[in-house]
Amino acid sequence: MSVRVSRLTRLLNMVPYFMANPGISKEEAAQELGVTVPNLMKDLDQLWVCGLPGYSPGDLIDLSFDEDTVTVVFSAGMDRPLRLTSTEATVLLVALRSLAEMPGMVDPTAAHGAIAKIEAAAGNAARVASGDRGDADGASAPAPESMVVTTVRSALQRDHALRLTYYSASRDTVSERVVDPIRSLLVDDQSYLQAWCRQAEGVRLFRFDRIDGAVELDEASVPPAQALGTDTHLELFSDDAALPQAHLRISAAHGWILDNYPMVPVQTLPDGSVEVTMRYGSLEWMARLVLGFGSAATVIGPTDLVETVRDRARAALAAYDALEV
């Protein structure tokens, strides 16, 4: 009989399961584990990059699932009960709490359930060491999950397409698009949905906190084959030749700007300042960005951006002069 469990629990049990059922077919295993075959393949891909500390190829779980059956080549110790030291339990609790707070990364109910089980097994030492005092009964209350995150996570689990209402910071616009979800990612402490955008006909990253609305569609997620199994689309800012390009000069004392914005250095000048280029989707947005840098940035081109920044700067100075009268 098919038993539906959380993905975390399923992943922890998959290696012992396949060791106990050598040569089982993917279809039969998916039915036993209560998942679809595509979701089973996602789980196997996830297990393939898990293993023992060191995480070199010889330390990772090794599975053979290229054919119709699944075989465990190296279990990395997953075939025996896990025994955690107090330090290991503390590290795991901290990691689980961090994941639970990242929207869309894991099912928060499953994460908090795992936390409760680890705390019960490890005792008060791990709970106190990890900084969780809990409530009067020692239980920690999970933070509520937004409807958008719940919808996106549901679509990922059920392999359904999504209709998103999304704010693009680079274009300063809100748009509606239909996407085929691929996976959720954590990049620079932000949660993203990686998906095939049918409107752009390409893989895009959608930051969870910029998704204004999400509707799970009653149709399958069908990203094209070239969009799967690659990390070539994980750059947060791609150089789209169709967008206009700003040419700026960043002063030597404000090099931090280059680390925080998608700018491409062109040359370093004798005074230490750096000439850069940067693509933008909205002239108004780019003008506001440059004006926010103050004297740290000088606009060299294009002409319409130079004129817009100059006009806005003059208007701001005039407004200050009016206040002084």
Give pairs for 50-54: CB < 8 Å, separation 24+: 50/11, 50/76, 51/76, 52/76, 52/77
Same domain, 181 and 216: yes
Instruction: At 289, list the tokens.
Output: 């960005």
pTM: 0.42
Give the domain extent around 15.
7-74
Assigned domain for 303 exists: yes
Of 21, 42, 74, which closes a domain? 74
pLDDT tens digit string along 143-169? Answer: 566 788 888 888 888 889 999 998 876
Residue 45 is given by DSSP the state H
221 and 261 in one domain? no
In a domain, 30, yes or no: yes
Q: What pLDDT score was predicted for residue 3?
A: 38
Q: Which residues of 129-168 are buried (b: 16+ CB within 10 A; e: fewer)?
A: bbebeeeeeeebeeeeeeebbbbbbebbeeebbbebebeb
Residue 269 inside a domain? The answer is yes
Count the residues in the chain: 325
User: Last residue of a domain, which of 55, 74, 93?
Assistant: 74
Q: According to the model, what pLDDT value does residue 300 have?
A: 92
User: Quick one: pLDDT at residue 24?
Assistant: 84
Judge residue 300's burial from the number of C-beta atoms within 10 Å of its C-beta, 0-12 exposed, 13-18 middle, 19 or more buried: middle
The answer to whether residue 131 sits within a structural domain is: no
**Same domain, yes or no, for 222 and 273?**
no
Kindly state whether residue 211 falls inside one of the protein's structural domains.
Answer: yes
Would residue 264 count as lying in a domain?
yes
Domain match, 151 and 212 both: yes
pLDDT at 40: 83
State which residues of the chain have pLDDT below 50: 1-5, 125-126, 129-130, 133-139, 232-237
Is residue 265 a contact partner of residue 219, using CB atoms and an 8 Å limit? no
223 with 249, same domain: the answer is no
Task: Give the CATH number, domain containing residue 153.
Answer: 2.30.30
Last residue of some domain: 193, 227, 261?
A: 227
Q: Are residues 166 and 207 in the same domain?
A: yes
Residue pLDDT, tens place only, 110-153: 666 666 766 666 555 445 544 554 444 444 555 566 788 888 88
Of 179, 43, 236, give the one whose Cα is nearest residue 32: 43
Split into its structural domains, the chain has a count of 3
Cβ partners under 8 Å of residue 20, min gap 6: none
